[in-house]
Amino acid sequence: MPTNRHTTSLATRLFLSATAWVVLILLITGIVLSSVYKRSVERAFDRRLNFYLRTLIAEAAQPEDPGDKNDKDKSADRSVQSLGEPLFELPLSGWYWRMARVDGDKPEVRASRSLWDATLPKLEDMGIELDQSGVRLAYVTGPDDQHLRMVERPVDLGTEGKYLASVAGDATEIDDETWAFNTYLAATFAALTVGLLLTTIFQVRFGLAPLKRISNSLAAIRSGDAERLEGEFPEEIAPLARETNALLDANRAIVERSRTHVGNLAHAIKTPLSVIVNEAGTHGLDPFAMKILEQADIMRDQVAHHLERARIAARAQTIGTVTEVKPVIEALGRTMEKIHRDRDILIDVEAAPGAKFRGERQDLEEMTGNLVDNACKWAAQKVFIEVLLELTPGGPLDPTLRIIVDDDGPGLSPAERVQVAGRGQRLDETKPGSGLGLSIVTDLAALYGGSLKLGAAPIGGLRAELVLPGV
């Protein structure tokens, strides 16, 4: 049974296309969501940095109170150092602030204890421009190669001078938050992808089931197991099934009309020819009568040949005609052994089980019968018949049937093989026959899209290889 490789190919293409779109859409969605979430985390982190920056500037801008100066200095220094975040007091914690005076002759720098002996880079020196809110924001590399998110703002404190205030925070918090979100997102999208792919498989499998049924039904018609597409089909597929059945019916009607016309033509021509032959036969050995009889026989052979070709051509176009090869070859071998039993010809048959010919039985019998009969006439003792079924590059829908007939006779030279293929050509007039056998086989094989090849047989004589469409 031929496989439905075209339907399978369509299902595969649909599945791969759907899979590609699903993966692409989910990938783009994941990238967008990850980017949006990272920006959200960055904005929250930046708001935190700006809060610390405003607190730092506000603490630095407080005027000094002469009363209780020592206690105030201690309290203010502690408040500025921590900014409400203990990490600013922990050495190299990743959270730092810095106030640097940018005017005057003597530089003045105040920094968080967490900086220890290190310093922070200046975003101004890195070419970062002020944004609309008057600050600079960027990722920088801090002490101990730490990955930091830093905010910087120039401040004018009037009589106190001009300062550059900077606050930096550990950016690994952003990375960790983003990584955790991406992990959950990837797991969620992986589960979603599996679910969508299973849904796609279900849709493709059951959505294309009617097409698969049509493919199997057409294969059954080709192999001769069915004559029409049977069963109920969905509304979208039903017109295709109806048109296919109509095409099959029209094909059978054309073939039947062709057979009827061929039969009528044969009857119409054979009757006048029989009259001519009978009339000429009444004149005995008259030369003119003998010439008419000779030409009438030629006409009869030609008419029979061309009518047979027309009949075979009509049958060759019939869909679903299949013949089991092995029984035909074995029956033919037994028959030929009886016909040539006076010469003790041994006919050995080796046929592949299940080999079928895509055509009618009587045509297969006529082609192989001519080849086997010709082999028996020339064989010394043995004729070997082999039947092979081979897959062609077209795939499993188009197998090739090979019927090989070998004899152990004298064989033919390459020139003689070309000569005997011609109509009416005989190399030895002592052998019975009209010389039409191989020509008829060639013509019939061509009508089925096949061929006949002549060569040298391994057992010493002639090899005739008949190539036909198989199943």
d(CA 190, CA 184): 10
7-177 with 323-469: one CATH topology? no
One-letter amino acid of 18: A
The whole-angstrom distance between residue 378's C-alpha and the CA centroid of its chain comes to 52
Architecture of the domain whose range is 7-177: 2-Layer Sandwich (3.30)
d(CA 98, CA 115): 9
231-280 tens-digit pLDDT: 777 777 778 888 888 888 887 777 777 767 766 776 677 777 777 878 77
Domain ranges of the chain: 7-177, 238-316, 323-469
> Which letter, b or e, does each residue of 205-237 get, where b requires 16 or more Cβ atoms within 10 Å of its Cβ?
eeebebbebbbbbbbbbbebebeebeeebeeeb
The domain defined by 323-469 folds into: Heat Shock Protein 90 (3.30.565)
411-439 tens-digit pLDDT: 888 888 777 765 444 444 444 443 456 77
Per-10-residue mean pLDDT, the chain, length 471: 48 76 88 94 93 87 56 48 80 90 77 88 90 91 92 86 91 93 93 86 76 78 72 77 82 73 70 77 78 79 67 57 88 89 89 86 88 90 91 63 92 80 47 56 84 90 90 77
pTM over 0.85: no
Q: Which two tokens stand for residue 45?
A: 């982190």
432-441 tens-digit pLDDT: 443 456 777 8
